[in-house]
Structure 1
Amino acid sequence: MSLTAFIFARGGSKGLPGKNVKPLAGKPLIGWAIEQALGVEQIGRVVVSTDDAEIAETARACGAEVPFLRPDSLASDTASEWDAWRHALETLRDAEGVLPAPFISVPATSPLRLSEDIAACLARYDQGDADMVVAVTAAHRNPWFNMVSARGDGTIAPVNNPEGTVVRRQDAPAVFDMTTFAYVADPHHVLRSRGVFSGRVRAVEVPVERSIDIDTPFDFEIAEFLMNRRLEAK
């Protein structure tokens, strides 16, 4: 069965205006996500959910479909991406008579991911014991060791280890950063729930060097440097 992947890209980014269509290493940022999703054997098409005409035009030029535009109410700074997920699923179900399954979201903001990373998330989901699979990477900071919060008296202490009983990183419980590589989920879970961790969530660990999530101009510069280095090495 040919699967459908979704990319959710609104036009009103404030951290980096126009980031979804901004050229990164010679290709629009959203183009990398489209290429990576279509590079997965099981994925036959990519549907982009956007409120923005320029994003829609760019996405189509890069090989994606834009069969609907996202309502403005789901494209504001305060709008929930989860609601955009539900809207996309319901819209395609109503138009095509079938619910895309599994639900696959491939965010545009992780251009350094590989198609094999998306495929790994799909393979983990196919094991059948998860409502959702996400990708994670080992965290640089650990709340048991070197992440701190302020106390009422102005001093600081580790977030989860205020008495300092964990004194070596090796003794701290392992923690991970969530990435924006891919989300693979049971579509019924998306439609009936209100957030990622409202069901059984499993994880695929991915390399930190591919895990940058672009939100600022600085993130973009780092990602472009790393992408150019990758392309030059080919």
Structure 2
Amino acid sequence: MAIIPARGGSKSIPLKNIRPLGGFPLIAYSIAAGLASDYVDRVLVSTDSPEISALAKTFGAECPFLRPAELAGDTATDFPVFEHALHWLETEEGYRPDLLVQLRPTSPFRPTGLVDAAIEAMLRCPEADSLRGVTVSGQNPYKMWRVQDGFMQPLLDTPYAEPYNMPRQALPETYWQTGQIEVIRRATILEQKSLTGKMILSHVLPPEYAIDLDNLYQWEFAEHVLKTLNLDLVLPAKKSYHACKHS
């Protein structure tokens, strides 16, 4: 089952999850990715917003409940959202999915086949607790700093004397987690009380897909990417809907 967490509140971009991107509401991209999978049998949106719920249903998602307000605030984390959904589905429907796919609306660019490839990786590796999408980090953390009282200290303790003076090619390759895909075992959530567990598989994405929408600059960049790059994206099906006006 795929779960798309989409709360109604957003301070950085108002009504972000239903704001039009490339002619579709943002959440429609994640719904389409779930529906395109050969393995995902249900695509569920967890939201506190009746407006998001109604719109998500028009694009083929299920919204069988509204998320409690205490799980939808600015400081809400993903774990209790997934725990709530699992408990609701088991209590109300007797439904117990073995694997859950998290498709974050704010990471809308997913290549064709991504969801199925990630699920297949988890099926091949029963010892894995979860899988996360990553991309090669643009800045190596071996060259990052903390600043205290005006003086710099390396962010990481490393076996290198001065990694910040070393060429990038001589340092270990590092990766940045993206929001395009996460696959989590039910047991990881309910038994380990975690969305990752300890054994986390990676799925490396090309950097051009690893766009996360947290501000208007990133939104404009995403619009530019849609218009100029010929990416192999899972796109929403065309629907008739009333696009909200945003300032």
Asked if these proteins are the same fold (TM beyond 0.5), I'd say yes
Q: Name the amino acid aligned to 1:199.
A: K
Contact 1:130-1:200 within 8 A present in 2 as well:
yes
Contact 1:37-1:115 within 8 A present in 2 as well:
no
Q: Name the amino acid aligned to 1:179.
A: T
Query: Relative to structure 1, is the Cα distance of residues 176 and 58 closer, same or farther in structure 2, using a 3 angstrom cutoff?
Result: same
Query: Relative to structure 1, is the Cα distance of residues 233 and 93 closer, same or farther in structure 2, using a 3 angstrom cutoff?
Result: closer
Contact 1:20-1:28 within 8 A present in 2 as well:
yes
1:68 matched to 2:65: yes
For residue 151 of structure 2, the aligned residue among 142, 155, 158 is: 155
Matches within 5 A, 1:105-184: 105-127=102-124, 128-144=126-142, 146-152=143-149, 154-160=150-156, 161=158, 163-165=161-163, 167-184=166-183
- Please give the TM-score of this superposition, normalised by the length of structure 2: 0.86
Q: CA deviation at 1:163?
A: 4.3
| Structure 1 match to 2:221 | 222
Distance 1:38 1:228 in 2: 24
The alignment's C-alpha RMSD in Å is: 2.0
| Structure 2 match to 1:186 | 185
| Structure 2 match to 1:201 | 200
Distance 1:184 1:232 in 2: 23
Q: CA deviation at 1:25?
A: 0.4
Query: Relative to structure 1, is the Cα distance of residues 98 and 233 closer, same or farther in structure 2, using a 3 angstrom cutoff?
Result: closer
Contact 1:8-1:108 within 8 A present in 2 as well:
yes
| Structure 1 match to 2:89 | 92
| Structure 2 match to 1:10 | 7
SS of the residue 1:95 aligns to: helix
Ranges in structure 1 where 5+ consecutive residues have no aligned partner: none
1:40 matched to 2:37: yes
SS of the residue 1:44 aligns to: coil
Distance 1:13 1:188 in 2: 31
CA distances 1:26-74 after superposition (whole Å, capped 9, x unpaired): 0000001111111111123311000001100110111111011100010
SS of the residue 1:181 aligns to: strand
CA distances 1:139-185 after superposition (whole Å, capped 9, x unpaired): 011121x3222255x23243225841461111112211000011111
Q: Percent identity?
A: 33
Further displaced range: 165-174 or 19-28:
165-174
| Structure 2 match to 1:27 | 24
Distance 1:61 1:97 in 2: 25
Query: Relative to structure 1, is the Cα distance of residues 108 and 89 closer, same or farther in structure 2, using a 3 angstrom cutoff?
Result: same
- Count of matched residue positions in the alignment of Structure 1 and Structure 2: 229
Query: Relative to structure 1, is the Cα distance of residues 143 and 29 closer, same or farther in structure 2, using a 3 angstrom cutoff?
Result: same
Q: Name the amino acid aligned to 1:178.
A: Q
- Please give the TM-score of this superposition, normalised by the length of structure 1: 0.91
SS of the residue 2:134 aligns to: strand
SS of the residue 2:172 aligns to: coil
Q: CA deviation at 1:215?
A: 1.1
Structure with more relative contact order (C-alpha pairs < 8 Å, separation 6 or more): 2
Query: Relative to structure 1, is the Cα distance of residues 191 and 19 closer, same or farther in structure 2, using a 3 angstrom cutoff?
Result: same
Contact 2:111-2:232 within 8 A present in 1 as well:
no
